[in-house]
């Protein structure tokens, strides 16, 4: 479900409220937005939109911009279905006053690893079609190791030497068809939080190509949008694993292995998080509330080093586990 709004430049707050009429389950989402003014003086680059596919089309839809159909990669995770990163952006205020002289601009895409080292760079010269234009490019990720990266775009207008920059983060996941035995076993343990135990045991009982094909079929069944070019279930689940590892890691293991990580993998971002320091026992507590699921979880940091343990849970409703 997508909605399109035309907004003036400025700051906004988006609120989304969803009510399931059958179950009465309720979901609320809020996000602050900044709409830049792209038409003020100076060369400007829009946000870099990462996608799993970009193709030319004459059709019109909410996914089409400048005759390009863009299938967005919302979590910016690549490798689960494709090893190609597609990027779309728009340029504004190119100097188009002299169409016969210096009518080109240079676009430089660079991939930077977590240590700040440039891994790949692509320098592409373009003719200016007008004072503004769309820019799209496909980048192969075949030789990139799994891990976090940053994609930067630098544009230079050859007429006046003005420059502009834009960047965004993305993550490369190793395709599970290339996993070692240890990595595959860890993947099954991660999936066990949201996949039925009998399905996990069935995959475990197989070996080689049969095991991978069995897991493929299982993940396809869990894909909420089967007709799309990506598995939204798998992308969202890997996003949750990455988030858990970045935020809940402690001495007991990776973030997804912690009690906070388990709840996050099952239910995603809480609707509300309350943190307080109790004077009675001098410990820090976190309360995660999932209003739309009628669930609440209480964690305590007993050692004072950020290692939270689940101590109470309130689950008045038992809806089926879903990533959406």
DSSP assignment of 238-304 equals: HHHHHHHHHHS-BTTB-GGGSHHHHHHHHH-S-SEEEEEEETTTTEEEEEEEEGGGTEEEEEEESSS
pLDDT of the residue at 319:
42
Please list the pLDDT of the chain residue by residue as tens digits (324 residues): 667 788 899 999 988 887 777 766 666 777 888 888 888 888 999 999 999 899 999 988 888 999 999 989 988 999 877 789 999 999 999 998 765 566 889 999 999 999 999 999 999 999 999 999 999 999 999 889 888 999 999 999 988 899 999 999 999 988 777 788 888 899 999 999 988 899 999 998 988 888 888 988 888 888 887 777 678 888 889 999 999 999 998 877 799 999 999 999 999 999 889 988 877 788 899 999 988 788 999 999 988 777 899 999 988 644 444 444
Can you tell me the distance from the alpha carbon of 63 to that of 54, in angstroms, rounded to the nearest whole number? 10
- Both tokens assigned to 148: 């976090």
Whether residue 67 is contained in a domain is answered as yes
The length of the chain is: 324
pLDDT of the residue at 252:
72
Whether residue 243 is contained in a domain is answered as no
Can you tell me the distance from the alpha carbon of 12 to that of 4, in angstroms, rounded to the nearest whole number? 14
- Both tokens assigned to 54: 């970009």
As for how many domains the chain has, the answer is 1
Can you tell me the distance from the alpha carbon of 153 to that of 45, in angstroms, rounded to the nearest whole number? 9
- Both tokens assigned to 116: 């700040």
Place of tokens 């430049």: 9
Whether residue 87 is contained in a domain is answered as yes
User: How far from 112 is each of 115, 131, 243, 246, 285, CA to CA, in Å?
Assistant: 8, 29, 20, 19, 38
pLDDT of the residue at 25:
64
HSE-CB for 172 with a 13 A CA cutoff: 20
Whether residue 204 is contained in a domain is answered as no
Can you tell me the distance from the alpha carbon of 279 to that of 202, in angstroms, rounded to the nearest whole number? 49
pTM for this entry? 0.78
Can you tell me the distance from the alpha carbon of 264 to that of 254, in angstroms, rounded to the nearest whole number? 13
Whether residue 84 is contained in a domain is answered as yes
Q: For 178, which DSSP code?
A: G
Whether residue 46 is contained in a domain is answered as yes
Whether residue 19 is contained in a domain is answered as no
Boundaries of domain holding 112? 38-172
Task: Pick the closest to residue 292 from 14, 12, 16, 2 (CA basis).
Answer: 16
191 contact partners, CB below 8 Å, separation of at least 6: 200, 237
- Both tokens assigned to 101: 């002289």
Whether residue 193 is contained in a domain is answered as no
What's 42's domain CATH number?
2.60.40.2550
List strand residue ranges (DSSP E) for the chain, in order.
10-19, 26-35, 44-45, 49-56, 64-65, 68-72, 77-78, 84-92, 104-113, 118-127, 133-140, 147-157, 163-172, 272-278, 283-290, 295-301, 308-315
């Amino acid at each position: 479900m997508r909605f399109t709004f035309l907004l003036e430049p400025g700051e906004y707050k988006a609120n989304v409220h969803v009510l399931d009429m059958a179950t009465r389950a309720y979901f609320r989402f809020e996000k602050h937005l900044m709409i830049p003014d792209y038409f003020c003086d100076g060369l400007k680059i829009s946000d870099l939109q990462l996608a799993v596919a970009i193709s030319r089309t004459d059709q019109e839809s909410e996914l089409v911009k400048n005759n390009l159909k863009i299938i967005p990669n919302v979590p910016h995770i690549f490798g689960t279905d494709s090893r190609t990163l597609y990027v779309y952006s728009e340029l504004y205020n190119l100097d188009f006053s002299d169409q016969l002289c210096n009518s080109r601009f240079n676009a430089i895409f660079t991939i930077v690893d977590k240590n700040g080292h440039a891994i790949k760079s692509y320098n592409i010269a373009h003719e200016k079609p007008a004072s503004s234009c769309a820019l799209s490019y496909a980048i192969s990720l075949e030789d990139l190791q799994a891990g976090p990266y940053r994609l930067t775009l630098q544009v230079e207008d050859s007429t006046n030497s003005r420059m502009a920059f834009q960047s965004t983060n993305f993550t490369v996941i190793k395709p599970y068809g290339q996993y070692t035995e240890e990595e595959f076993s860890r993947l099954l343990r991660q999936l066990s939080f949201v996949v039925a135990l009998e399905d996990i045991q069935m995959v475990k009982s197989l070996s080689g190509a049969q095991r991978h094909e069995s897991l493929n079929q299982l993940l396809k069944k869990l894909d909420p949008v089967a007709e799309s070019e990506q598995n939204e279930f798998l992308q969202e689940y890997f996003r949750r694993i990455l988030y858990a590892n970045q935020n809940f890691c402690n001495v007991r293991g990776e973030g997804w292995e912690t009690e906070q990580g388990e709840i996050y993998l099952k239910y995603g971002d809480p609707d509300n998080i309350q943190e307080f320091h109790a004077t009675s026992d001098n410990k820090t507590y976190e309360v995660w509330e999932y209003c739309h699921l009628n669930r609440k979880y209480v964690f305590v940091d007993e050692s004072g080093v950020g290692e939270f343990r689940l101590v109470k849970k309130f689950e008045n409703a038992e809806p089926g586990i879903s990533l959406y």
